[in-house]
Amino acid sequence: MPSSDKDKKRIMVTGGAGFLGSHLVDRLLDDGHDVMCVDNMFTGSRRNIAHLRDHPGFEFIRHDISQPLHVEADQIYNLACPASPVHYQFDPVQTTKTSVLGAINTLGLAKRLRCRILQASTSEVYGDPEVHPQPESYPGRVNPIGPRSCYDEGKRCAETLFFDYRRQHGLPIKVARIFNTYGPRMHPNDGRVVSNFVVQALEGRPITIYGDGSQTRSFCYVSDLIDGLVRLMEAPDETTGPINLGNPAEMTIADLAKLIVEMAGSPSSIEFAPLPEDDPRQRQPDIRLAKERLDWQPRVGLEDGLASTIDYFRALRA
């Protein structure tokens, strides 16, 4: 909680009705701040913020950040962008606009207000990496013209804009590179591996693995990720990032599928399908910088996090 009214902030969260955004809004309100949740509701959900409707510190603004927004704030968290392949490939041109024009508009607002601004970037900036695990110094191996490029390159361009605004205008920026995150409020049809597997397992349908299942991912529970974002925003100005935020515990997709089937008590079998184009074979964050600069590391184990996630999706079906 803020130690006094002087420490209480008015904070804008774009994408605030989405999976990560709504959890961040909760955390900031719990910390005693006033929060403006800005979302065009393309992938956001009113269900994610329904419990905040009567909260005195909460304000919802329906707005697409590819268009300018004129408000007053002490801090800005820019999380607005569809983050799953199903959603960002639905309208790839708009996805790029959201990342690039959204960065320009939020940075312009932060410049006018002279306030800190945090960009939610992504591990996808590393593409299909040749270095494992991926440190922030690795420039990536990304296809600029593939079906995932609207998201990958949009986020890379947003990072460019953030650092150019810092160099050119002295703006206090923060850039977080978010690795696979899961938990309650994930969209049940977002096409991401955890939500896909959990929904299929609960419905007793075959679990679909793309590729042979040997590709790896590292899964971070949502509360850990949100704590990392807040710590980065509150870190000294010289800690700009980019900083990896994710759980370095790596596992194969096949092992994840088996674990979810077991934990859900599901009769689901496992089926294999062709691997999508440009799908990375390995993904694991090097989080040494987050440990050093933010005193941050994940604390929620995979089985505990999956139990909460399975309970959430089971309740949705009730």
What residues act catalytically? 151
Tokens 């370095």 belong to which residue? Answer: 248
CA distance 157 to 161: 6
Contacts of 265 (CB under 8 A, 6+ apart): none
- Angle between helical axes of 92-113 and 149-169 (0-180°, round to 10): 20
Contact 76, 12 (CB under 8 A): yes
Contact 151, 124 (CB under 8 A): yes
CA distance 83 to 154: 11
User: DSSP code of 206?
Assistant: P
CA distance 27 to 227: 8
Length of the chain: 318
Q: Is 61 helix (H, G, I), strand (E, B) or coil?
A: strand
CA distance 73 to 232: 18
- With b meaning 16 or more CB within 10 Å and e meaning fewer, what string describes 79-94? bbbbbbbebbbeeeeb
Report strand pairing: 116-122 vs 173-178.
parallel
CA distance 186 to 97: 23
Amino acid at 207: I
